[in-house]
Amino acid sequence: MRKPIIAGNWKMNKMNSEAVQFIKELKPLLPEDDSVEKVICPPFTALAPVIEECRGTDIKVGAQNVHWEESGAFTGEVSPQMLKDMGVTYCIIGHSERRAMFGDTDETVNKKAKALLAAGLIPIICVGESLEQKEAGNTFKVCESQVQKALEGIEPRDAGNIVIAYEPIWAIGTGKTASSEDAQEVIAHIRKTLARVLNEEVAGKIRIQYGGSVKPENIASFMEKEDIDGALVGGASLKSQSFSEIIKY
Ligand code: 13P
């Protein structure tokens, strides 16, 4: 059984005081049981206060990016070991915004994935097609290639707790979602790819999220699908009320 994982990607939002206030509000809104894994990914600047405010809860904290080296002359970068040292558990890599605006490539995503695993952190690897690629009928091919390249050289025994997020680019921040049927189909194909690249057993363990305009109103339709194990939520993760409703789908 794969434990559902709902993660909030705050992107470049929230001052530290707002971040702490969010966690304070979220805590009493969460379900008593821990049947859903909850992750908050604040900007780097808010990691420390969010980690502090989440102490004693089962909310995990993730970063939104990382460099692959351990230390050195890499101005402006943060290493996996630094994140680990702070108490970070997860790290989003390969988000389409980073691929489009900050030069992330399949190769750097692969380096980041390896570095995170070596440091004992869990990568949330984002993949997904653009509108143009979707209209050309290339969704499966694009996702397959991104997954395969992200995992190059990673041993199956190290890959079981990796998380993949399928985020069709045209659905991010647009209010348009993939239909749950289409998302299931792509995600099932991603799982097949994982089985080929790693093996069947590990592919059965890896959690695959859907992301792109997830809201309290549509989360249940995704979560009822066989291969969809959670969501990576942007806009709707910025308010404690809507994020808690998504967690309680
Ligand atoms: P939205 O939920 O705002 O569409 O963003 C999705 C996303 O990019 C999460 O990483």
pTM score over 0.95: yes
What pairs with residue 239 in β-bridges?
none
Phi, psi dihedrals of residue 60, rounded to the nearest 5°: -100, 160
Distance CA 198, CA 202 (A): 7
Verify whether ligand 1 is closer than 6 Å to residue 246 (CB atom): no
- Residue 97 CA to ligand 1 center (angstroms) comes to 10
- Residue 10 CA to ligand 1 center (angstroms) comes to 9
Distance CA 121, CA 56 (A): 20
- Residue 246 CA to ligand 1 center (angstroms) comes to 13
232, 239, 245: residue to mutate for ligand 1 pocket, most atoms within 8 A of CB: 232
9, 124, 166, 213: residue to mutate for ligand 1 pocket, most atoms within 8 A of CB: 9
Verify whether ligand 1 is closer than 6 Å to residue 167 (CB atom): yes
Whole-number pLDDT of residue 1: 86
Q: Classify 5-13+20-27+59-247 by CATH class.
A: alpha beta
Distance CA 67, CA 58 (A): 27
- The amino acid at 246: I
- Residue 154 CA to ligand 1 center (angstroms) comes to 27
Question: Given 53, 67, 95, 189, which residue is catalytic?
Answer: 95
* Tens of pLDDT, residues 83-105: 999 999 999 999 999 999 999 99
With a CB cutoff of 8 Å and minimum separation 6, the contacts of 28 are none
Q: Is 95 a catalytic residue?
A: yes
Verify whether ligand 1 is closer than 6 Å to residue 172 (CB atom): yes
Low-confidence ranges of the chain (pLDDT < 50): none
* Tens of pLDDT, residues 34-52: 999 999 999 999 999 999 9
* Domain residue limits, the chain: 5-13+20-27+59-247
What HEC string does the chain produce? CCCCEEEEECCCCCCHHHHHHHHHHHHHHCCCCCCCEEEEECCHHHHHHHHHHHCCCCEEEEECCCCCCCCCCCCCCCCHHHHHHHCCCEEEECCHHHHHHCCCCHHHHHHHHHHHHHCCCEEEEEECCCHHHHHCCCHHHHHHHHHHHHCCCCCHHHHCCCEEEECCHHHCCCCCCCCHHHHHHHHHHHHHHHHHHCCHHHHHHCEEEEECCCCCCCHHHHHCCCCCCEEEECHHHCCHHHHHHHHCC
Whole-number pLDDT of residue 22: 99
- Residue 63 CA to ligand 1 center (angstroms) comes to 15
- Give exposure, 205-220, as e/b (b: 16+ Cβ within 10 Å): ebbbbbbbbbebebbe
- Atom 9 of ligand 1 has which residue's CA nearest to it? 234
